[in-house]
Amino acid sequence: MLMSVVAPDEPEGYRGRRRRFLFPFTRKAGGAALPALLVAASIVVVLIVVGVSQLLPKQAAGQIPSGSGQGTVSDESGQLVGPDGSLLPTPGKPGNPGKPGAPKATGSASPGTTATPSGTPTPTPSEPQQSFAPMAVEAESASLGGAARTGPCTACSGTKVRFIGGNAGTVTFGGITSPKATTVQLTFWYLAATTARTMYISVNGGTATLTTPAATVDWNTPKSATVTVTLSAGTNSIKFYNPTASPAPDLDRISLH
């Protein structure tokens, strides 16, 4: 039989009081002190874990992570997401694809062309250039200068203009319009019986073209001759004259084509 050894000089009452002061949890008999200590230790651990978790940086999904760009958040997988919902590249990783943008056209377009996505310029359709419209004018409808005046002519298309030339007579056809500068053929019908006569032809007061067509059979049967003249863009005038003392042929009409 085992017995506890108690110091002879220690009163029984003192030993009991010391046990109550040191461990109040041991008032109950049967080993109740150990569960009480375990509960206390568990509470301390929980408090430590809660305190540490409050000190750690929050990286929850949908919150702005430390070091990310302004206006970006991360999804559940940790991928950065921009304000418009597009995926952003993750630092340290080769390019994550973001939201696809509109295709960019390559190449450059010069004035008057439309750039296509392939970069090939497409010419812009331009308005077709207008050409000179052929026309015919009677000599009696022109502006007469000096001594020039109309006269009868049985085979002419109307009347004719006489006394052109040495006596300062002139015939000027005005109001001849052209959409652009161009070269045209000028055909005139004239009369010069028995002897050829020289005619001067000037466009817009420029250098004159000299022509000496062949003589006609009489003063009532006209013949035609053709010269090349250059018209300016806009309105033109053509003058028939002979500044020398020699007379020029009589004139029936002209045509431009």
The answer to whether the beta carbons of residues 240 and 143 sit under 8 Å apart is: no
Q: Distance between CA 193 and CA 221 in Å, rounded?
A: 9
Query: Over the stretch 105-123, which tens digit does the pLDDT of each residue have?
Result: 555 555 555 555 566 666 6
Q: Is 167 within the bounds of a domain? A: yes
Section 164-189 average pLDDT: 96
Question: What's the structural domain count of the chain?
Answer: 1
Convert 169-189 to b/e letters by CB count within 10 Å (16 or more is b).
bbbbbeebebeeeeebebebb
Nearest to 184 by CA among 234, 235, 241, 232: 232
Residue 121: inside a domain: no
d(CA 81, CA 135): 76
Instruction: Give whichever of 52-61, 109-118, 148-157 has the largest mean pLDDT.
Output: 148-157
Domain presence at residue 248: yes
* Mean predicted confidence (pLDDT) in 9-38: 54
Of all residues in the chain, what percent carry a pLDDT higher than 90? 48
Q: What is the pTM of this model?
A: 0.52
Q: Are 222 and 156 in contact (CB under 8 A)?
A: yes
The boundaries of the domain holding residue 249 are 135-256
Task: Select the more confidently predicted residue: 153 or 24.
Answer: 153
Q: Which pLDDT tens digit goes with each residue over 125-149? A: 666 678 999 999 999 999 999 999 9
User: What's 227's DSSP letter?
Assistant: E
* Neighbour tally for 141: CB within 10 Å: 11
Q: Are 73 and 63 in contact (CB under 8 A)?
A: yes
- For the chain, report the end-to-end CA distance as a whole number of angstroms: 153
221 belongs to a structural domain: yes
* CATH code (residue 166): 2.60.120.260
Question: Does some domain include residue 62?
Answer: no
What pLDDT does residue 236 have? 98
124 found inside a domain: no
- Report if residue 151 sits inside a domain: yes
Q: Above 50 in pLDDT, residue 217? A: yes
Average pLDDT taken over every residue of the chain = 77
Residue carrying the six token digits 């929980």: 46
Residue 119 has what pLDDT?
62
Percent of the chain with pLDDT over 70: 56
Q: Is residue 187 part of a domain?
A: yes
